[in-house]
Structure 1
Amino acid sequence: MADKDEMAHYDGPAGGWGALKGIASIFGKEWNKPSVIATLMRQNKPDGFACISCAWPKPTDHHPFEFCENGAKATLWELTTPRCEPEFFAKHSVSELKSWPDYDLEQQGRLTHPMRHDPETDHYGPVSWEDAFEAIGAELKRLDPKSVIFYASGRAGLECSYLFALFARLYGHNNLPDSSNMCHETTSVGLKKVIGSPVGTVIWDDLQETEAFFFFGQNTGCNSPRFLHPLQDAVKRGAKIVTFNPVRERGLETFVNPQNVAEMLTDQGTEMSCQYHQVRNGGDIAAITGMCKHIFDGDDAAQKDSKRVLDVDFIAQHTHGFEKFEQRVRSTNWEDVEQESGLTRQALKDAADVYISCDKVIGVYGMGLTQHKYGADNIGMFVNFLLLRGNIGRPGTGACPVRGHSNVQGQRTVGISEKPELVPLDRLAEMFGFDPPRDKGRNTVEACEGMKVGKVKGFISLGGNFVRAIPDREIMEQAWESLELDVQIATKLNRSHLINGRSAWLLPCLGRIEEDLQESGRQSICVEDSFSCIHGSTGLEKPASEHLKSELAIVAGLAKATLLPNPKVKWDEWTGDYSKVRDLIAKTYPNEFYDFNARMFQPGGFWRGNSAHERIWKTQSGKAEFTSPERLSSFGFEDRQGRYRLLTMRSNDQFNTTIYGFSDRLRGLEGPREVLLIHPDDMKKAGLEQGQRVSLIGDADDGIDRRVDGLTVTPFNMPPGCIGGYYPEMNPLVPLDHHDQLSKTPAYKSVPVRIVSQRRATGIMLRSTGDRYHIEYEWYGRTKPFKPEVLEG
């Protein structure tokens, strides 16, 4: 094994002074007004605003500073001082801006005016809101509704999301993908299949009672740092954390609480995980199978002279399919488990012993489980593990998927779904006097597939950076330009705004933290967190421009310009008073949103309920389902000589496609993001050297040439055969059809690739013609074998 000093790493704790320095770096660059402190003090408070970053819950007993490093960065990023005004677009063509890095595009600041792209000049130019709505509405009327996509990024509030979904169905389609399709849709499909609930079962009180957390593929330190507070409290009272992750993420190793004076003064934090297992990406099924084998062995021994290890009463009363699952686990040999997981038999036994010793266990996971070809099998296997000892549906237990976007779960709750069976269409028909479409709409992958073959003609994006986030980016950018209508609702400029269809529009909106004044006065919105709790949010900051409209007002304006008048559909009334939209939500979903307006600012949020939490299983069998995966790997490809499993990751200075800076502090990486992370032992086997420039080429066996060049070889602690790179830079390597088999969530966490040295010539020929030399060489991995270069001389 290579020495740790050879690899990039970070010795400091998560949180602590490093987190404060990270916030300070953005504060000085983005927004240097003293009032920033007062704004941050309102973040995630009952009378404040909901963070626009992650969906971690807002506790009833909140801290004085209820925000994390990335949450503060997100706030400062939205309230930045620079402005991206019409003069900027007059100076720079779209073609020129395409060559700019993503970071530089967002550095131009907040968008201030509605803009329309002029194909003849290749520049965006300002346009009035009235003209924009009228022209876009005319285009939508001309297009077949089934050929148009309404995409939601996950940041709009429940009120706007409800109206966006209603607009789509009144228009005539269910093409309502959202960012969940690219991250946690596997949870929605996988959990619903096995426990009858599409979301996690844990509530806040469970965190206080559990005796152990088992983490799989969730980077708490970067993606949900506020979670570290209850985790630290749990460890201090004796709870244990066992972590499975291909990469050692610092937040689940050591944490210094920035709100604890003693810890900050001594820089002595809490050791978080009692065990940390670097499972191969794609090897989670095997790892859980190994633990289950040990649990069965322990139960066999216990039957002779002590208390059973399995919760046999729970299994008999509440589950279905146990016998088949047990047979599958017992018949799997340890050699295969070790090979696929990359972990030893003893390591898995040690982890299982912690599980057996604890009466109450919570299972936590992130996209490390969902974004695989067989991600739903990962979810099913994780639930199997919890069911063995009855760790769902009683205090201190449960399945806890951790969401990213702050309202991505809530958007699904109020109707943004391509699946008509998940929406109360009959109730909508009665409320609004129309016949909603009943056919299935397109999810993210299906939207891209439709675009490639010319069936998708229009795209309306409610936030986000869709083109940058999706797989096969280079291929999809070419397909995108065939769109007849492209509408982007956004706060800042990004790559998606530069890949234009025939008619392209950029509509700037208010941010969540800004004051939203409508006819009835200041408006508030609501969001849903990862624990299914609903929270009110009120912005107070002065808007970045007097020309901005709220997301809800933009959606209503587009709808009015597109749809025929309907006396039951009152866009102006709803825009003037968002409480009336909440009344509609309560009428549509009465069991979950009763007394919505009265409860929206309840401290800690109001819980909309969860059937599996109450051990009511809304599955086909009426019980929780044990599943029996047919494979030990969720990778979806065979391992071959020279093939690596690429894991795409986000940095400490990043939220999804937004890059705040170039410091991945918690991994010890600074500078450009074009890096290839690989273990030193794998480097030696491949004949690579630190600092060498290499390319990654796709290895999906589909005949498509996928390539990312200019990556710097960087020694890093990865499992054998696994390499790492940053999302979204690595997206061109992800095939569009490499996705979970049930949910179609792209498999960003296990991508088949090969490493090649740049300009590795397998054949060279030198020809001279006059004063020029022509060098022809073969590029390894290219479909076209020879490429000429001309040298003056």
Structure 2
Amino acid sequence: MAQEDGTVHYDGPSGGWGSLRGISSVFGKEWATPLAIETLMRQNKPGGFMCVSCSWAKPASPHQFEFCENGAKATLWDLTSRRCTPDFFAQHTLAELRGWKDYDLEQQGRLTHPLRYDAATDRYLPCGWDEAFHAIGRELRALDPKSAVFYSSGRASLETSYLYALFARLYGHNNLPDSSNMCHETTSVALKQVIGASVGTVVFDDLSSCDCMFFFGQNTGSNSPRFLHPLQEAAKRGVKIITFNPVREKGLETFTNPQNPLEMLTGKETRISSQYHQVRPGGDIAVLMGLCKHVFAADDAAQKKGRRVLDADFLQSHTRGLAAFEAQVRAMPWSEIVAQSGLTREAIEGAAQVYVESDRTIGIYGMGLTQHAHGFENIAMLVNLLLLKGNIGRDGTGISPVRGHSNVQGQRTVGISEKPELVPLDKLAKQFGFKPPRDKGLNTVETCEGILSGKVRAFIGLGGNFVRAIPERDRMEQAWTRMRLTVQVATKLNRSHLVHGEVAYLLPCLSRAEEDIQASGPQAVSMEDTFSCIHGSVARRKPASEHLRSEVAIVAGMAKATLPLNNKVPWDDWVRDYALIRDQIAETYPDEFRDFNKRLFTPGGFYRGNSARERIWKTKSGKAEFTAPKTMSATGFEDAPGRFRLITMRSNDQFNTTIYGYSDRLRGIEGTRDVLLMNPGDIQRAGLREGQVVSLLSDAEDGVDRRVHGLVVTPFSLPDGCIGGYYPEMNPLIPLSHHDEQSKTPAAKSVPVRIRAEDGILRAPLREPPGHSTRPA
């Protein structure tokens, strides 16, 4: 699909029939059991099964179908009828499998048996659970605990996460990186410093009482589609939704509700954003500076008439640092703001006037703000804007980072953190009779540095696809094999399982959709959504294999085999009854989790609270902090002739590193992920043409050769000097050193690269529907 300017795009709205076709395609490919429909009908409903995809809210009064396209795909992916048995590994060496596509690896289906790596044959061989646990324990006991890393993806339950963090500290380290390090760690660091709470202040009900939303760098249509329902309701009641994003994402343009028969039959669309501004990647600091500059000017004009735009009482009572920030804003010339943002003064002032005239505004953002070298300043500037009018700590206001993985926020809440100051170590010491380590642990970037240097000797992965998700993939894969021990807990095969240490185990676990029966009967687990509400989840589906174990049981099994006996740490009792784990969580975190078991299935979840929402500022000064940015560009590098700013993006046919298919429907790209998206003007200026095959080369000034080959030039609507490519395919281009200065979140939303033409033109039409598997024959 192409527009008049030749750029690919999608003609339809987000949602609608396209969403239903997307779900149907995965159902057909996975041969999922008909009982999967029953699971979907219980998904994200009180007392039901909580989706393993994003962390969006599970409302107390749900829709009939409280799942989105990506949530349905994630559930069907787990409930596939395909099985990846030991016979599969008997037929393929790991060296061979490393040549397969990510999609084809996961298409082998659910892992069914615990496996150990055999170096003599370069294959995974079946083994017993006790054999695996004893070997893992023996290896861990032989290592310095500080040389081991316990990574977790954002899917593991609160119960599993709590035990996993306890296991690490009993063993002797705080090396607990998780997927938050790669996406929203900037949020945790910035919000903690400026408002004293490390998560967003908005709750679900605020979405229905605001009159304005400002969106920055978040792709709702692909990453959190259920958000489209309250956005549609807000737009219909006249809420002004102002969007800043380098990419025109369909979910923030128009939406047809698949649950509304009239809209489906008539094709009626709701326009979501009232203004949509394609800011340059890294230009958000400048945009926010311009917004604040107009707010100050509007306040000057209002004071002449005896009124105020600023919330003077709030600013006086609750904030610190306004004078210095205001002086910087007033001194900043509009010419610099325009140059850095890529937007006109008129466009920025038009957006700012909406903010001036609104009473209750919510600031919403995603990784378009966090994944920059100066992501901290991005978020701090958004807080500055909200503080000017007292838009934190009132109903219908606040700051709202939209989190990814279903429990990535909850894992931090119950102790998955490399920062000991964020964990109640004194309470843990008293509860479990040990001396917790007090030194700072390794985050994701530091883990990678440790693997490269040889200091990290063991890696335990609780879910996820770490090797595929991190920067510097090529260098990291070479260094990975020098580790002594690697253990991966997973449901399906992925790239990380094929890159291994000297001793390696692949341990298959239950998915959240599968019934978990322990000695005391069926078990429930819990997770925290993006609005800090805790939800219980109960599964009913039969497990994919009788040999699977729950994540709780696997963590306990490894811990028992590794640690000395401690009567205060009853691993077997906790596996028998997860309610006992929740009792321990409530003891460690009494303010957030009091009466945990009694409140587990509260409709809509129970709110664990947020001090900043109550205008209690747990900062060093005791007040909300205005922050004067030290730069006007978040990129961390200068522009140069021939240098482009690369954005890594996800398609609507993937979730993080999981690739469901080759249809990026909402961008009009079908059948391939090997594309380089450029605006037509940049294509012409670079001397390229549509369909030409090119390579991207890193333009970081560190002398390291990084490149990705075989990308097809594809015209797309992007700001000048900005190009786009898919994550995780573009990860080899991201230097490990290119990260947010304060949080070390990889800066994947503005990567310096150059384009090099290759011989050859794409033979097949780019916009053909996807064909069969791309796996090598």
Instruction: Output the TM-score relative to the length of structure 1.
Output: 0.95
Q: Could you tell me which residue of structure 1 aligns to residue 54 of structure 2?
A: 54
Q: Could you tell me which residue of structure 1 aligns to residue 31 of structure 2?
A: 31
Q: Could you tell me which residue of structure 2 aligns to residue 671 of structure 1?
A: 671
SS of 2:553 mapped into structure 1: helix
Amino acid at match of 2:173: H
Aligned residue runs from structure 1 range 105-144, under 5 A = 105-144=105-144
User: Which moves more between the two structures, 287-296 or 107-116?
Assistant: 287-296
SS of 1:695 mapped into structure 2: strand
| Residues 199, 401 of structure 2: 8 Å contact kept | yes
Q: 1:552 to 1:3 in 2, by over 3 A?
A: closer
Amino acid at match of 1:729: E
Amino acid at match of 2:524: S
Distance across 2 between alignment mates of 1:45 and 1:206: 20
User: Which moves more between the two structures, 31-40 or 91-100?
Assistant: 31-40
Shift of 1:477: 0.3
Q: Does 1:496 align with 2:504?
A: no
Distance across 1 between alignment mates of 2:489 and 2:547: 14
Q: Does 1:455 align with 2:455?
A: yes
Deviation string for 1:461-508 (max 9, x for gaps)? 000000000000000000101010000000000000000110011000
SS of 2:543 mapped into structure 1: coil
Q: Does 1:623 align with 2:609?
A: no
Amino acid at match of 2:567: P
Q: Does 1:198 align with 2:192?
A: no
Amino acid at match of 2:92: H
| Residues 33, 80 of structure 2: 8 Å contact kept | no
Distance across 2 between alignment mates of 1:174 and 1:426: 14
Q: Could you tell me which residue of structure 1 aligns to residue 369 of structure 2?
A: 369
Q: Could you tell me which residue of structure 2 aligns to residue 788 of structure 1?
A: none
Q: Does 1:349 align with 2:349?
A: yes
Q: Could you tell me which residue of structure 1 aligns to residue 146 of structure 2?
A: 146
Shift of 1:35: 2.1
Q: Could you tell me which residue of structure 1 aligns to residue 421 of structure 2?
A: 421
Deviation string for 1:113-134 (max 9, x for gaps)? 0000101110100000010001
Q: Could you tell me which residue of structure 2 aligns to residue 290 of structure 1?
A: 290
SS of 2:255 mapped into structure 1: strand
Distance across 1 between alignment mates of 2:116 and 2:33: 32
Distance across 1 between alignment mates of 2:453 and 2:4: 49
User: Cα RMSD over matched residues?
Assistant: 0.9
Aligned residue runs from structure 1 range 222-237, under 5 A = 222-237=222-237
Deviation string for 1:702-746 (max 9, x for gaps)? 000000010000000000000000000000000001000110000
Q: Could you tell me which residue of structure 2 aligns to residue 72 of structure 1?
A: 72
Distance across 2 between alignment mates of 1:359 and 1:306: 18
Q: Could you tell me which residue of structure 1 aligns to residue 661 of structure 2?
A: 661
Q: Could you tell me which residue of structure 2 aligns to residue 431 of structure 1?
A: 431
Q: Could you tell me which residue of structure 1 aligns to residue 323 of structure 2?
A: 323
Amino acid at match of 1:176: L
Shift of 1:36: 2.3
Aligned residue runs from structure 1 range 93-492, under 5 A = 93-492=93-492
Deviation string for 1:724-773 (max 9, x for gaps)? 0000000000000100011000001000000111269xxxxxxxxxxxxx
| Residues 5, 680 of structure 2: 8 Å contact kept | no
Q: Could you tell me which residue of structure 1 aligns to residue 741 of structure 2?
A: 741
Deviation string for 1:323-348 (max 9, x for gaps)? 11001111111111111100000000
SS of 2:326 mapped into structure 1: helix
SS of 2:689 mapped into structure 1: coil
SS of 2:468 mapped into structure 1: helix
Distance across 1 between alignment mates of 2:307 and 2:481: 65
| Residues 174, 442 of structure 2: 8 Å contact kept | yes
Shift of 1:32: 3.9
| Residues 586, 596 of structure 2: 8 Å contact kept | yes
Deviation string for 1:273-296 (max 9, x for gaps)? 000000001000001111111111
| Residues 39, 49 of structure 2: 8 Å contact kept | no
Distance across 1 between alignment mates of 2:427 and 2:4: 60
Structure 2, unaligned stretches of length 5 or more? 761-777
Amino acid at match of 1:120: A
Q: Could you tell me which residue of structure 1 aligns to residue 706 of structure 2?
A: 706
Distance across 2 between alignment mates of 1:554 and 1:380: 40
Distance across 1 between alignment mates of 2:221 and 2:546: 37
Distance across 1 between alignment mates of 2:70 and 2:567: 45
Distance across 1 between alignment mates of 2:354 and 2:31: 47
Instruction: Output the TM-score relative to the length of structure 2.
Output: 0.97
Amino acid at match of 1:718: L
SS of 1:756 mapped into structure 2: strand
Distance across 1 between alignment mates of 2:38 and 2:538: 14
Shift of 1:34: 2.4
Number of residue pairs aligned between Structure 1 and Structure 2: 759
| Residues 677, 715 of structure 2: 8 Å contact kept | yes
Q: Could you tell me which residue of structure 1 aligns to residue 530 of structure 2?
A: 530
Aligned residue runs from structure 1 range 558-597, under 5 A = 558-597=558-597
Distance across 2 between alignment mates of 1:749 and 1:32: 36
SS of 2:304 mapped into structure 1: helix
Amino acid at match of 2:548: L
Distance across 2 between alignment mates of 1:34 and 1:573: 35
Distance across 2 between alignment mates of 1:758 and 1:191: 45
Percent identity for Structure 1 against Structure 2: 68
Q: Could you tell me which residue of structure 2 aligns to residue 13 of structure 1?
A: 13
Distance across 2 between alignment mates of 1:548 and 1:61: 34
SS of 2:461 mapped into structure 1: strand
Q: 1:117 to 1:206 in 2, by over 3 A?
A: same
Shift of 1:39: 1.2
| Residues 216, 243 of structure 2: 8 Å contact kept | yes
Amino acid at match of 2:662: F
Amino acid at match of 2:181: N
Q: 1:454 to 1:552 in 2, by over 3 A?
A: same
Amino acid at match of 1:48: G
Shift of 1:4: 4.3
Q: Could you tell me which residue of structure 2 aligns to residue 787 of structure 1?
A: none
Distance across 2 between alignment mates of 1:494 and 1:243: 35
Q: Could you tell me which residue of structure 2 aligns to residue 544 of structure 1?
A: 544
User: Which moves more between the two structures, 34-43 or 646-655?
Assistant: 34-43
Deviation string for 1:356-396 (max 9, x for gaps)? 11100000000000000000010000100101111000010
Distance across 2 between alignment mates of 1:592 and 1:231: 29
SS of 2:243 mapped into structure 1: strand
SS of 1:305 mapped into structure 2: coil
Instruction: Tell which structure's C-alpha radius of gyration is larger.
Output: 1
Distance across 1 between alignment mates of 2:133 and 2:314: 57
Q: Could you tell me which residue of structure 1 aligns to residue 772 of structure 2?
A: none
SS of 1:758 mapped into structure 2: strand
Shift of 1:68: 0.2
Distance across 2 between alignment mates of 1:470 and 1:403: 18
| Residues 693, 759 of structure 2: 8 Å contact kept | no
Distance across 1 between alignment mates of 2:322 and 2:135: 59
Amino acid at match of 1:673: R
Q: Does 1:92 align with 2:82?
A: no
Deviation string for 1:31-60 (max 9, x for gaps)? 343222211000001111110000001011
| Residues 527, 536 of structure 2: 8 Å contact kept | yes
Q: Could you tell me which residue of structure 1 aligns to residue 771 of structure 2?
A: none
Deviation string for 1:404-439 (max 9, x for gaps)? 000000000000000000001011010110000000
Amino acid at match of 2:562: T
SS of 1:308 mapped into structure 2: coil
Shift of 1:306: 4.4
| Residues 33, 79 of structure 2: 8 Å contact kept | no
Deviation string for 1:582-613 (max 9, x for gaps)? 00000000011000000010000000000000
